[in-house]
Amino acid sequence: MSKPCIICVAITGSLPTKDNNPAVPITISEQIESTQEAFEAGATIAHCHVRDDEGKPTSDPERFGRLLEGLRQHCPGMIVQLSTGGRSGAGQARGGMLPLKPDMASLSVGSNNFPTRVYENPPDLVDWLASEMVEYGVKPEIEAFDLSHILRAHAMWQAGQIAARPYVQFVMGVKNAMPADRAVFDYYIHTVKRLFGEDAAWCAAGIGPNQIVLNDWAISAGGHARTGLEDNVRIDRDTLAPSNAALVRRAAELCDRYERPVADWRTARSILGLPQAA
């Protein structure tokens, strides 16, 4: 298989702390440095959250703006994807950074259970976030925690609520949501191809120890892969990951194993239908 593989690095997230792993980048400067290392290791999408001065998740557009500016300066060409996830804010505050016009933003189109709470994505908020992405030319990445989310994304695409063919990411291994189940994973691929076309690009993310499992499944099946300290702070059960770059290199080794070149930023932008310059 010679199809290039895009590696996305989820650098920080909303939950991991320095207590979990000292390598988790919290401040804007730490995030820029960590992302640059991951970019040099082969990642071409940076999935980004920001934290406040206490290290707590926030949707503050000013902080997102400083991070976006720094990444564009230090990682030229890298695709910057900002999170509209629900742990960082409530209601329309979750989309307050979209006028910054990042290349991409995450979009969860349905609700589901998380370990200790319901991850709420009510239809009116989903519709508003999608409309803001259309307004500002931001490509959504559909975060599919359930099969229904893929079907909902298709309905939104047909209705013109999503401007271009959706890029769907399967998220597996979140406690109380979809586990890392190979039969389900294969059916997700079948569903994406049936609804969006045989050549539709898709990605997969695994949480905790499932990260390397989903990396392997996705890369071997012709999809794209997400890694990073947001989803998993360890290399193995006994060893903390020393950096986001280390996790990217681990995914790149799988690309070598399956004879897939790691996509550079130009190739990644072409695959996703993004402009060649941010």
Write the CA distances from 177 to 141, 146, 174, 181, integer angstroms. 19, 8, 5, 11
Using CB atoms within 10 Å of the CB of residue 267, give its burial: 0 to 12 exposed, 13 to 18 middle, 19+ buried.
middle
pTM here is: 0.97
pLDDT per residue of the chain (278 residues) written in tens, 0 to 9: 689 999 999 999 999 999 999 999 999 999 999 999 999 999 999 999 999 999 999 999 999 999 999 999 999 999 999 999 978 778 999 999 999 999 999 999 999 999 999 999 999 999 999 999 999 999 999 999 999 999 999 999 999 999 999 999 999 999 999 999 999 999 999 999 999 999 999 999 999 999 999 999 999 999 999 999 999 999 999 999 999 999 999 999 999 999 999 999 999 999 999 999 76
Class of domain 7-272: alpha beta
Burial (CB count within 10 angstroms: exposed 0-12, middle 13-18, buried 19+), residue 136: middle
Q: Which of 71, 69, 99, 66 is nearest to 84 (CA)?
A: 99
Residue whose token pair is 């239809």: 123
Q: Is 191 helix (H, G, I), strand (E, B) or coil?
A: helix
